[in-house]
Amino acid sequence: MAVKGLGKIDQTYDGKHIKVGILHARWNSKIINALVDGAIKKLKELNVSEENIIVESIPGAYELPFGTKKMFEKYNVDVVIPIGCLIKGSTMHFEYICDAVSTQIMQLQFQLNKPIIFGVLTCLTEEQALERAGLLPGMHNHGEDWGACAVEMVLKWK
């Protein structure tokens, strides 16, 4: 039996009744700003009202898991999109932060039983980050994907 529509969105989602938290790190602000803007743009396209989009900032990516948990508690949101950008340098810092943040965000979803959209770029070069933020010609802003994913995950599993 063939699966129809594999890889395609399975229905139209209307986010007019959901509340979304966006939590972003301040490091790599040019990239982060573009990703946050992309997420907000897509959320609005999917009918999430501006007053139901709460945006907070934190120092860095390492603080994203704790900040995400606190966004759920403080704002009673349906979903959080933690946004960060890690770019590999010459030390092991990149590997440790990527692993810790990824693991904690995944575990937090199951602890809270709420969707958390993994909006953390883990790039080997600044150029890769700029591409994924849609800041280079012809490239796509991944923040838009995260906004669409947030709406779908809330509505699909309510």
Q: Is the pLDDT of residue 2 over 70?
A: no
Q: Classify residue 140: in a domain, yes or no.
A: yes
Confidence of residue 5 (pLDDT cuts 50, 70, 90): low
Predicted confidence (pLDDT) per residue in 62-76, tens digit: 999 999 999 999 999
> How many residues does the structure list for the chain?
158
Q: Is the pLDDT of residue 1 over 70?
A: no
- Tell me which residue range forms the domain holding 148: 27-156
Q: Classify residue 15: in a domain, yes or no.
A: no
Q: Classify residue 5: in a domain, yes or no.
A: no
Q: Say what the pTM is.
A: 0.93
Q: Classify residue 16: in a domain, yes or no.
A: no
> What pLDDT score was predicted for residue 94?
87
Please give the Cα distance from 10 to 126 (Å, whole number).
Answer: 34
Q: Classify residue 3: in a domain, yes or no.
A: no
3 state SS of 46 = coil
Residues designated catalytic: 93
Q: Classify residue 10: in a domain, yes or no.
A: no
Q: Classify residue 8: in a domain, yes or no.
A: no
Q: Is the pLDDT of residue 7 over 70?
A: no
Q: How many domains does the chain have?
A: 1
Q: Classify residue 12: in a domain, yes or no.
A: no
Degrees (nearest 5) of the Cα angle 7, 18, 61?
75
Q: Please give the residue that has the higher pLDDT: either 33 or 94.
A: 33
Residue in 77, 61, 63 with CA at minimum distance from that of residue 21? 77
Q: What is the CATH number of the domain that holds 66?
A: 3.40.50.960
